[in-house]
Structures are given as structure tokens and as C-alpha cells.
Amino acid sequence: MDLSFISAYTPMYIEAAGLTIRIALYGIAGAFGVGILCSLIKELNIPVLKQLAQIYIELSRNTPLLIQLFFLYFGLPKLGIVLSSETCAVTGLIFLGGSYMAEGFRAGIDGVPQIQRESAYSLGMTKKQTFWRIVVPQAVATSVPVFCANIIFLIKETSVFSAVALADLMYVTKDLIGLYYKTDEALFMLVVSYLVILLPISLLSSYMERRVRYAGFGNTGIVSGH
């Protein structure tokens, strides 16, 4: 292991990690928005929009991110639409992550017992009030583990961004291996970089899951019986 090589190129990995984190943040934030929107469309049960949302979810979940990126980066220019590497990366992450977030939140909504809604209606609450004050808090609480797992999954998926000429961690690693044949050192720095990014998120996710289990659903009022 060439420590001098690692020391010399660590700043390059730090810069690449910053780019990876920035794109991941944009993509995850957008994925949350798309996921919640799709879940609300299904909840409203508007036939056409519901079918479109389901088509999007199936298309997104059943195609690899790499293929989606190729379509954005190499396919769209044939139609006269040219996107930068970073825009393609963020768009691809949103497209992929939105479906997983939607299914996670939808599972949380479906997990709220029907008796909760009926109890709210019997107390004079409207459907809108019931959904936002009773259903959504419980759905979010039960979906926290899924959201956390999806966040980690999406960050790991950023490793394919080098396919669209984005200078992320994987791109830098392959570049250094090709130039200097320092495979062990380059891969070591790649692994350490992802550990530094993902380990704190994993620990925070575990903490949040424990907090949710400890808190339970008592804050919703109807659920706790108060």
C-alpha cells in the first residue's frame, strides 16, 4: 500500500465526495417530493392520475439507474434535449428514488388501521382533517425505516454516475487506476470515502428508528385513546 499516493490524491477524493453528496442531496430531496406526490395521487384515487403514477412506479422500479442515465445523457440529445452530466445524475436519482419513496409512504398509509379513520369521522373530523392529522403522522412514523433504507440505497446508487462523465468517486477511482495502476490504493480510498459518507447516515437512521419505536403512535390522540 503506497501511503504517499493515498496522501497525494486524498484531496481529489474529498472533492469528488463533495460532488457525490451534493447530487445525492438534490436527488433524495426530489425523490421525497415525487414519492409524496404519487402517494397523494393514489390516496385521492383519481383514475387517470392514479394509473399514470402506477405506470411511472413500475417503469422506475423495473429499470436500472444506469439505463435511465444512458437515456437521459445519450438518448435525449437525439431529440434535441441536451442535459449536463450533473443534471442527468440528479434527474435519474429523482426518477429512481421517487418510486421507492412512494411505495414506502404508501405502505405506511395502508398500515394505518381503518378503525382510525372511522373513529375520526365519528368525532366529526372531515376526510381532509383525518388524513393530515391522523393518517399522515402514523404513516410517516411507520415509514421512517423504509425512508432511511432508501436514502442509503440511493447514495450507493451514485456509484454509476461515472457512466455519464461525472467526476464522482467512482470516476476518480477508475481514472487513477487507469493512469497509475494503483488499484489497491484507489479502491481503498473509494471504500473509505463511501464509509465516511454512509456510516453516519446509517447510525442516524438506527437512532431514528429506535426513537420511533419508543415514541409509538401515542401522539395522534385517537390512537392512544386520549
The SS3 call for residue 112 is coil
pLDDT at residue 29 in the model? 93
pLDDT in tens, 52-104: 988 999 999 898 888 999 999 888 888 888 888 889 999 999 999 999 888 88
Distance from C-alpha of 110 to C-alpha of 113, rounded to nearest angstrom: 8
- The answer on pLDDT for 216 being more than 80 is no
The class level of CATH for 3-220 reads: mainly alpha
Average pLDDT of the chain, as a whole number: 83
Provide the b/e sequence for 4-15 (b: ≥16 CB within 10 Å).
ebbeebeebbee
Q: What is the pLDDT of residues 178-194, one digit of tens each?
A: 888 888 888 998 999 99
Q: Domain extents for the chain?
A: 3-220
Q: What is the pLDDT of residue 211?
A: 73
